[in-house]
Structure 1
Amino acid sequence: MSGSIIREKPVHLAPMRQNSVPNGNSPLKLFTQAKTTITDIFKHISTYVNDSNIFLADVTKSDKKLLTVDKHDDLQQLKEKVTRILTIISRDHMKVVFFGRTSNGKSTVMNAMLRERILPAGMGHTTNCFLQIEGTDKLDAYVLVPPSDEPKSIVSLKDLGSALSREKLNSDSLVKILYPKEKCRLLRDDVILVDSPGIDVSANLDQWIEDHCLDADVFVLVVSAEATITVAEKKFLHNVAQRLSNPNIFILMNRWDAIVNEEENVDKVRQQHLERGMEFLCDELHLYDRKVVADYRVFFVSAREAVLHRAPDPSSSPRTGFAEGYKERLTEFTKFEQEFEKCISKAAVRTKFEQHTNRGKEIINLLRDTMVNITDKSHSLKQQTVQKRTEESEKHDFIEKELKSMMETTKDRIRHVSEDVYKRVAQTLNDEIKRLYTLIEEFDRPFSSDPEQIPLYKRDLHKWVEERLGSNLQSRLHSALYSSLDSVHKDIKERVKSVVNNERKSMVDAITPRSDFAVSYRLDCLNLCSDFKEDIKFKFSLGLTSIWQRFVQSQHQQSALTMNKDNSLNVRNDSLMPTSNLLNSTNDLLTTANSITSLTSKSSLLLIGGCALIWRGIGWKVLGVVGCLYGSLYAYERLMWTKKAQERKFKRQYADYASSRMKLIVDMTSGNASAQVQQELSMYFAQTVRYIDMEKDDICDNLKQLKQEIDQLLLYNDRAKGLKKQADWIDQQLSLFSKQYLSEPMTTSINSNG
């Protein structure tokens, strides 16, 4: 080839070095921008999922009607999925795999694209394993050899990756080369280049594809222009096409500088290679149409010349190695790089981010649908709860009115029953007082006029009268009284049952009036008649003393009647001065004294006159007969004054005294009985009506709880609406991302199949 080397120095191409190549408008920036955009979107998604999970946890904990536990558990897993997607996005890059037969110049092509002699290259089988070049933010390059993570010097790469080295690695091993991004534009833009060993050195192509090629965005088949596409190369690409949907493939006809030895057949050879490339890509793999392949998928280049031009060997002459027509081949290589950058950028955006975008939309749509569902359910539940609260409030008002009406009605009823009891007891007690003498006559106990025995007799009589009166009152009043009580009890119970729930109705039914309740008619005769003084001494009925007492008693009765009349006439004059009462009392005393004086003087005169008349008219005989009769009558009464007569007189005196005393306590006894009945009914009413208070308390608690539920549902509704709006915004951002990076119309330089 020395005869074909040009003599002039390519001055105009010499300055084109790595650092002078602008990359501000490089198509590779599309991937970087898309990666930054989708990362920001998924950060928003991560925050949104976290906020949603907190909200959904609160919803699930408080009310399972809005969200089931299983649904919540499924949604909780979204956070982990988003975190995993963010991790994958941070590792996402554009990956290109260079493959072909041994010694076709794959490593040289990569060095030319990197504008640095990074990979070992030479004649024969040079690359022994997979070499992956990726960028690092560190200033020095280093190598990672599996399975160790210990960095090694870049100098060791010649021994590690070379087939000529004694320290050979397996052909499916992957050696990572971390090269500073600042030194290489491609690596700076998240491009990873993978150099493969010759596909003709191993039959395990499927495993290669599984291990290193499934995540590749572009495949570059490097073919020696001095030969043609081999069966092994076609088989490899067929396997790739089976595992990947519509792979992006470029074919580089390398070593095209050798065509200078056959200038007369340049066009025919070029057309032959092009036809075979189109047959393979279009007819066999069905990836592109022929025009796309002819213009943008098959390139005729010289990687050696590109390396010499971009990264010349300092030890060689600047004029060494360039054959005739090298400028066209360098331009072809540049065109390949341009099309390659456009293709890998857009292909990587699609292959790497389209799935993330769709997954992000699925997550957002799932959460948005959940928020919409919670919004609808919370709104529906809120309406139901408001209706229920209204019903409870109306029920509370109804119970309030019923309770007020019941208390007024029951109070009137109890007052009516108490007044009726008062009247019945008063009437019955008055009846018993009227027949008190008959009752006392039934008292049977030995009577003795001995002063020491009289108190004992009185005590027993007091006790017996009290017991018999109480018994008579009980027997006469029991039926009517308890019938009234039972009627009130039933009315109270039915009224209370009409406003309480079924559970409390049974409790109200279980309430029974006191079985031991009985109206006590305590007359307390012992104290009531403690002042009773009997007079059972013998008194002749025709004696002057007896006559005098009867006359005085008659006068007292008349005075009492007169005073009663005066009191009834002067009942309205209670405000008279005390001196009037004193004058009235003095007048009464004077009248009584005059009566007594008049009676005494008249009796003496009448007695003397009568004796004188009898003496003169009838004589001593008649007077003697009268005296005998008077004495006989006295003797008879004196003989008839036995213990029985004394007992009858004692009982008659006691009956008169007890009657007069008991008449004084009729009102008190009747009032006491009425108060007992009123207290019993009031206690029963209070015991029964407390279930209404319990019902009211329950309703009040329900109203408070329903108010809290309404407030909580309103809060859930508002928060769900807010989260739905966030989901709409994120979905809009994903749609904008899809429109900008995934749905942009493809140029003619991109795979027509998308």
Structure 2
Amino acid sequence: QITMSGSIIREKPASFGSIRQNNATNGGNSPLKLFTHAKITITDIFKNISSYVNDSNIYMTDVIKSNRNLITTDKYKDIQQLKEKVNRILSVISRDHMKVVFFGRTSNGKSTVMNAMLRERILPVGMGHTTNCFLQIEGTDRIEASILIPGSDEPKSVNNLSSISNALSNEKVDSDSLVKILWPKEKCRLIRDDVVLVDSPGIDVSANLDQWIEKYCLDADVFVLVVSAEATITVAEKKFLHNVAQRLSNPNIFILMNRWDATANEPEMVESVKQQHLERGLEFLCDELHLCDRKEATENRMFFISAREALLNRNTDPTTSPRSGYNEGYKERLVEFSKFEHEFEKCISKTAVQTKFEQHTNRGKEIITLLCETIVNMINKSQTIKQECQEKLIEMEEKNIFLEHELRSMTDSAKERIRHVSEDVYKRVAQTLNDEIKRLYTLIEEFDRPFTSERNQIPLYKQDLHRWVEERLGSNLQNRLHTALHNSLDTVHKEIKERVKTVLTTNERRSDVDSIVPRSNFTISYRLDCSNLCSDFHEDIQFKFSLGLTSLWERFMQNEKQPKYTSSSFLNSSNDLLTTANNLAELTSTSSFLALGASALIWRTVGWKMLGIVAGIYGSFYLYEKLMWTKAAQERAFKRQYADYASSKMKLIVDLTSGNASAQVQQELSMYFAQTVRYVAIEKDDIIDNIQDLKIEIHQLKSYIDKGKKIQKQGDKINNELNQFTKQYLITD
């Protein structure tokens, strides 16, 4: 029977249908090879199991560290202990052997039978009670034979065996002691094929039969009862075997009727005596112990032999002739002994395989089943979790795309809304500031700080006026724009908040957005900075006669342009007087030189009298203007000059101030939008992190599944090998 290619199961040794007719030492076709092959095969299988358990432990250790609950801690601990169990089984298998125990009454020839099977005089033999203790013969790789006595691990020479085990020796050990004989494997085929033979003291010299069985017989594969053909099976021998049968299920028992060569002296009684022994043996084996049927017992369980002749035959040179020491019919007895050996080898090999390896095989199957079930369960859990992760990954990716789109749309909408509000603020501030500039003359008139024309006091007066104008303008702008601007800001704040909340998925983050409160103290800063703006203003409050030559010359040089400043107290006395003076100045400015020429002509025409009258009138005008140029007139002139100058400068910064206010509103709204939309970005980042974690999780689970399937295939292969081993070695044909 040949197994599939690649299997570690070896070819089962062929059965032996013919009885060996020679005593050749070549054991190439020995039935004992069945045990040897089975032992090698089961050892290789358990080495594979050990590797499988080790791979499984590494795999499960990696899984247990991931904290994915694919395997329970208790199950993991159980799996971790399997390696030690497999190593113990391998250790037991390496020590497993086939064991046969020889027993019987004293001087029935047990030691002689063993010597004949070993083909050498190893055990001491003699008349009377010779073997005093248990002698176990097992193989050793050493060249020299040795013995181990109880209580010592130091090998001793085999020459000491007679003095230690012989009942007649003074150095003998106790009857229930075991002396091990380590015999070189190369000297004996039986020992080389892992057969251990145990010789026992006569069962009629000790009452400790139960103790013998417990200590030395429970692991035996075969029991050989050696009976003297000159007597019969005794009650003590039957009792011993009954005790064995109670402790072991269906023990394999052979009965050897030794010293059958004694029948040569009474040839006429041979058949009747043989029939008598056979009937009693069959009655005991079949009717009392129920171990086999009568045909099996007759053909394969009871043998009539002469151990002495068999040993003599195997220790004598086969080329030597004639032979001495044999009785008539010895050839038939030698054939019978060979038949016994053959049936014994078949039985012990088959039984040892069953008793030694069936339990290991079942334990190996249990280990494989436990690991396979655990790994399959882990694979199934991994696949379930992987499927859930893949579904969640799809959901997260869709959500990420949605958030990306919403974030982009929200940002664009917010920018557009903020731009619209900023432009509206720009227009409102520009319009309001222009209105306030038009009212600047009235505003300055309200400045009531006492005025002085002293040169060192004028700068202080201007500083206070700068500050007052800046504060009043800023206050007026705040009062006129504050409510409308804050209403616009509140509306935009609510729009941004509600839009962001519609995107967020968790109530916690919605609450966080609700907790964001716009700055309640936000106000637009209208920094007009009049001090710097009007720093180049230079007042002109010196008295200047409006009809003086200097004034007339200035008007002429201005080409009829209205003067920027006027210092005439007459023109400033009232609005009507100012208008009249301006008209008069326009008339006189265009004909000033003509007037001089006319005066000269008049003087030549009318004389000194008329000239005096004109001079009196001119002097009256001068005196009037001089008297009207008071401190109040100087203050009015100063404020008028300042109002004209400040108005022209402020018109230049209307765009700048409006843009600054618009920028402040834009910054405020942008900052609020950034604060709220940050939670959308956080949620998006969380989703991206979850996507990455899910991808890593899926990759790791896929790795667990692939590794688990690989290990599962390894377990299936080993399980097939165990099944093949069971079919080839353990199932009885």
Question: Is TM (by shorter chain) over 0.5?
Answer: yes
Asked if structure 1 preserves the Cα contact closer than 8 Å seen for 2:107 and 2:129, the reply is: yes
- 2:107 maps to what in 1? 103
- 1:610–1:515: structure 2 CA closer, same or farther, 3 Å change rule? farther
Asked whether 1:536 is paired with 2:524, we answer: no
Q: What is the Cα deviation at residue 116 of structure 1? A: 0.8
Q: What is the Cα deviation at residue 436 of structure 1? A: 1.4
Asked whether 1:741 is paired with 2:706, we answer: no
CA RMSD, 1 decimal: 3.4
Q: Deviations over 1:623-645 (max 9, x none)?
A: 97x99998777766654443223
CA distance in 1, matches of 2:155, 2:432: 121
**3-state SS, counterpart of residue 60 of structure 1:** helix
Asked if structure 1 preserves the Cα contact closer than 8 Å seen for 2:518 and 2:672, the reply is: yes
- 2:700 maps to what in 1? 712
CA distance in 1, matches of 2:304, 2:462: 151
Asked if structure 1 preserves the Cα contact closer than 8 Å seen for 2:552 and 2:592, the reply is: no
Asked if structure 1 preserves the Cα contact closer than 8 Å seen for 2:305 and 2:337, the reply is: yes
- 2:474 maps to what in 1? 470
CA distance in 2, matches of 1:205, 1:114: 26
CA distance in 2, matches of 1:143, 1:232: 30
Q: What is the Cα deviation at residue 482 of structure 1? A: 2.7
- 1:145 maps to what in 2? 149
- 1:595–1:645: structure 2 CA closer, same or farther, 3 Å change rule? closer
**3-state SS, counterpart of residue 307 of structure 1:** helix
CA distance in 2, matches of 1:281, 1:234: 10
Q: What is the Cα deviation at residue 91 of structure 1? A: 0.9
**3-state SS, counterpart of residue 487 of structure 1:** helix
CA distance in 1, matches of 2:624, 2:592: 29
5+ residue gaps, structure 2: 1-19, 564-585
Asked whether 1:523 is paired with 2:511, we answer: no
Asked if structure 2 preserves the Cα contact closer than 8 Å seen for 1:16 and 1:310, the reply is: no
**3-state SS, counterpart of residue 216 of structure 1:** coil
**3-state SS, counterpart of residue 150 of structure 1:** coil
Q: Deviations over 1:431-471 (max 9, x none)?
A: 21122122212212111122222222111101111111112
CA distance in 1, matches of 2:179, 2:706: 55
Q: What is the Cα deviation at residue 343 of structure 1? A: 0.4
Asked if structure 1 preserves the Cα contact closer than 8 Å seen for 2:552 and 2:589, the reply is: no
Q: What is the Cα deviation at residue 542 of structure 1? A: 8.2
**3-state SS, counterpart of residue 653 of structure 2:** helix
User: Where do residues 354-753 of structure 1 align in structure 2 (5 Å cutoff)?
Assistant: 354-500=358-504, 502=506, 503-514=508-519, 517-538=522-543, 555-556=560-561, 599-600=591-592, 638-745=626-733
- 1:49 maps to what in 2? 53
- 1:67–1:611: structure 2 CA closer, same or farther, 3 Å change rule? farther
CA distance in 2, matches of 1:694, 1:146: 80
**3-state SS, counterpart of residue 299 of structure 1:** strand
Q: What is the Cα deviation at residue 257 of structure 1? A: 2.3
CA distance in 1, matches of 2:384, 2:441: 84
Question: What amino acid does structure 2 have at the position aligned with 1:450?
Answer: E
Q: What is the Cα deviation at residue 234 of structure 1? A: 1.8
Asked whether 1:71 is paired with 2:75, we answer: yes
Question: What amino acid does structure 1 have at the position aligned with 2:651?
Answer: K
Q: What is the Cα deviation at residue 385 of structure 1? A: 1.6
CA distance in 2, matches of 1:110, 1:435: 141
CA distance in 1, matches of 2:632, 2:374: 108
- 1:557–1:232: structure 2 CA closer, same or farther, 3 Å change rule? farther
- 1:219–1:610: structure 2 CA closer, same or farther, 3 Å change rule? farther
Q: Deviations over 1:295-347 (max 9, x none)?
A: 21111222122222222599x99744322222222222111111111100101
Q: What is the Cα deviation at residue 165 of structure 1? A: 0.9
CA distance in 2, matches of 1:116, 1:16: 19
Q: What is the Cα deviation at residue 595 of structure 1? A: 11
**3-state SS, counterpart of residue 437 of structure 1:** helix
Asked whether 1:344 is paired with 2:344, we answer: no
Q: What is the Cα deviation at residue 153 of structure 1? A: 1.0
Question: What amino acid does structure 2 have at the position aligned with 1:148?
Answer: S
- 1:267 maps to what in 2? 271
CA distance in 2, matches of 1:731, 1:648: 117
Q: Deviations over 1:625-680 (max 9, x none)?
A: x9999877776665444322322232222222212221111111111111222223
Q: Deviations over 1:91-142 (max 9, x none)?
A: 1111101111222111111111111111011111111111001112222111
Q: Which moved further from structure 2: 651-660 or 415-424? A: 651-660
Asked if structure 2 preserves the Cα contact closer than 8 Å seen for 1:312 and 1:318, the reply is: no
**3-state SS, counterpart of residue 133 of structure 1:** strand
Q: What is the Cα deviation at residue 520 of structure 1? A: 1.6
**3-state SS, counterpart of residue 341 of structure 1:** helix
- 1:223 maps to what in 2? 227
**3-state SS, counterpart of residue 303 of structure 2:** strand
**3-state SS, counterpart of residue 673 of structure 1:** helix
Q: Which moved further from structure 2: 666-675 or 696-705? A: 696-705
Asked if structure 2 preserves the Cα contact closer than 8 Å seen for 1:17 and 1:311, the reply is: no
CA distance in 2, matches of 1:312, 1:177: 24
Q: What is the Cα deviation at residue 251 of structure 1? A: 1.1
Asked if structure 2 preserves the Cα contact closer than 8 Å seen for 1:129 and 1:173, the reply is: yes
Q: Deviations over 1:580-638 (max 9, x none)?
A: xxxxxxxxxxxxxx99996446666888999999x99xxx99x97x9999877776665
- 2:8 maps to what in 1? none
Asked if structure 1 preserves the Cα contact closer than 8 Å seen for 2:106 and 2:201, the reply is: yes
CA distance in 2, matches of 1:364, 1:93: 25
CA distance in 2, matches of 1:385, 1:406: 30
User: Where do residues 269-348 of structure 1 align in structure 2 (5 Å cutoff)?
Assistant: 269-311=273-315, 319-348=323-352
**3-state SS, counterpart of residue 207 of structure 1:** helix
**3-state SS, counterpart of residue 677 of structure 2:** helix
Asked if structure 2 preserves the Cα contact closer than 8 Å seen for 1:462 and 1:525, the reply is: yes
Q: Deviations over 1:334-368 (max 9, x none)?
A: 11111111100101111111111111111112222
CA distance in 2, matches of 1:553, 1:408: 57
- 1:552–1:491: structure 2 CA closer, same or farther, 3 Å change rule? farther
Q: What is the Cα deviation at residue 418 of structure 1? A: 1.4
CA distance in 1, matches of 2:261, 2:616: 195
**3-state SS, counterpart of residue 193 of structure 1:** strand
Asked if structure 2 preserves the Cα contact closer than 8 Å seen for 1:114 and 1:186, the reply is: yes
- 1:750 maps to what in 2? none
Q: What is the Cα deviation at residue 505 of structure 1? A: 4.2
Q: What is the Cα deviation at residue 683 of structure 1? A: 3.2
Question: What amino acid does structure 2 have at the position aligned with 1:244?
Answer: L
Q: Deviations over 1:8-52 (max 9, x none)?
A: xxxxxxx9986x333211111111111111111111111121122
**3-state SS, counterpart of residue 394 of structure 1:** helix
CA distance in 2, matches of 1:127, 1:195: 8
Question: What amino acid does structure 1 have at the position aligned with 2:531?
Answer: L
CA distance in 2, matches of 1:380, 1:248: 54
Q: TM-score, normalised by structure 1?
A: 0.84
- 1:8 maps to what in 2? none
Question: What amino acid does structure 2 have at the position aligned with 1:112?
Answer: A
5+ residue gaps, structure 1: 1-14, 559-593, 746-754
Q: Which moved further from structure 2: 692-701 or 537-546? A: 537-546
**3-state SS, counterpart of residue 414 of structure 1:** helix
- 1:167 maps to what in 2? 171
Q: What is the Cα deviation at residue 473 of structure 1? A: 1.5
**3-state SS, counterpart of residue 221 of structure 1:** strand
Q: What is the Cα deviation at residue 377 of structure 1? A: 2.1
